[in-house]
């Protein structure tokens, strides 16, 4: 279960079916992340890309905060159906575009089509496999998915110390961290 922290649906609790294997970003970490992002971005005018969307915790949070253009990419068909159903129940369907796809394939197929103000990714990678994180960073940056002054937020286990020249900072919240990556433009 997760809850929407703020916005139109503040404090709304959302329960995923018990058989879903997901680990939504904790409320504590999500609240801290959105506090950071709200200080820099006006969500109503942002284009957001949520990679490895899971059951939509981050996407729904953006939608609750009036973001009008959210693309969520998730491979699991049960999860995409759940996000679609939840978005419909909360009258957020017009704000959200849920894509069922492998993130890497989606990034290759859609390069050059759209650029985003905020990209968030919470990949299901093993905490010690830095190569998958580096591949993801490379795909996002080399295919120019970020607008000027945009940010790519990559969630990862705090034990993993990601290094990349475009990482401007990493914030730790318990056992998870957010690395903030900029395009360098």
Region 5-21 average pLDDT: 74
> How many folded domains does the chain comprise?
1
**Which tens digits make up the pLDDT trace of 26-40?**
778 889 999 999 999
**The domain that contains 120 carries what CATH number?**
3.40.50.150
Residue 117 covered by a domain: yes
pLDDT in the model for residue 131? 87
Residue 67 covered by a domain: yes
Residue 125 covered by a domain: yes
Q: Concatenated DSSP letters for 27-44?
A: HHHHHHHHHHHHTT--GG
Query: Is this structure's pTM higher than 0.85?
Result: yes
């Amino acid at each position: 279960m997760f809850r929407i922290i703020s916005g139109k649906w503040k404090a709304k609790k959302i329960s995923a079916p018990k058989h879903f294997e997901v680990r939504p970003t904790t409320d504590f970490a999500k609240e801290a992340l959105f506090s950071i992002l709200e200080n820099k971005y006006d969500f109503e005018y942002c284009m957001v890309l949520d990679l490895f969307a899971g059951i939509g915790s981050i996407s729904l949070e953006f939608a609750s905060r009036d973001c009008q253009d959210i693309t969520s990419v998730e491979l699991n068909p049960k999860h995409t159906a759940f996000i679609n159903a939840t978005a419909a129940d909360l009258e957020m369907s017009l704000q959200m575009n849920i894509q069922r796809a492998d993130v890497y394939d989606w990034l290759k197929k859609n390069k050059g089509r759209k650029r985003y103000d905020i990209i968030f990714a919470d990949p299901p990678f093993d905490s010690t496999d830095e190569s998958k994180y580096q591949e993801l960073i490379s795909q996002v940056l080399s295919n120019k998915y970020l607008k000027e002054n945009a940010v790519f937020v990559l969630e990862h286990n705090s034990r993993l110390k990601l290094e990349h020249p475009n990482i401007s900072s990493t914030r730790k919240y318990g056992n998870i961290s957010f690395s903030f990556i900029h395009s360098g433009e």
